[in-house]
Amino acid sequence: MLVFICSMLETEQKRKKIAEFYEDYKSIFMRHAMKITGNNQTMAEDAIHNAFKSIMENKKKYISKDEKDLFYSTLAIIKNKCIDLLRKEKPYSDTPIEEMEFFLESGDMPVEDQAEIDIAYAVILKYIKQLNEINKRVLVLKYFKYKTYKEIAKELNMTPKNVETRIARAKEKVRKLIRKERGEKE
């Protein structure tokens, strides 16, 4: 899909920007689309594909946006493409858009708040990917798999104290990477 989408752009720089943008946020886009489509993976993938196709068809409007604005625009387009696909299905074909909006926002938090959390998640994940394998692994096990120090230690064949130390150092490294990108002093 991405090759086709990127081929619609004139310059290598623009192709690279969209490819990196897609890679950085694809899991968030998929989660967003899956939530809206009721965990219908095929429909979610179609909605994301249609959203990026729409972005390329209106590339002058979207390509010049900064990453945050492009992210929010993409989420909105994905939401609308999901709604379009849901409307084509029988159960939703006669449902007014207002009811669909209520359905989308009836979760634990509004879609906008969830988008903010998703952005923070993506940013942190971007920095975690820059860590060495062992530090990356301890952070993922602790904060994404919710394992205890003892469980992580057993899985990685180290002491719980060593796990605690690695997590503290990895978190500090992520903080430093964030500060560095923001241009703040360490």
**Band of pLDDT at residue 125, cut at 50, 70 and 90:** confident
Is the pTM for the entire model greater than 0.75? no
CB atoms within 10 A of CB 51: 23
4-25 pLDDT tens trace: 555 555 667 777 777 787 888 8
Burial (0-12, 13-18, 19+ Cβ within 10 Å), 25: buried
68-112 pLDDT tens trace: 788 888 888 888 888 888 777 754 444 444 444 444 444 555 656
Report how far Cα 76 is from the mean position of its chain's Cα atoms. 14
**Cβ-contact 44, 37 below 8 angstroms:** yes
Record: fold of 131-186: Arc Repressor Mutant, subunit A (1.10.10)
The one-character DSSP state at 163 is: H
Amino acid at 95: T
Task: State how far the Cα of 127 lies from the Cα of 49, in Å rounded to an integer.
Answer: 27
pLDDT of res. 127: 81
Q: Where are the domains of the chain?
A: 2-129, 131-186
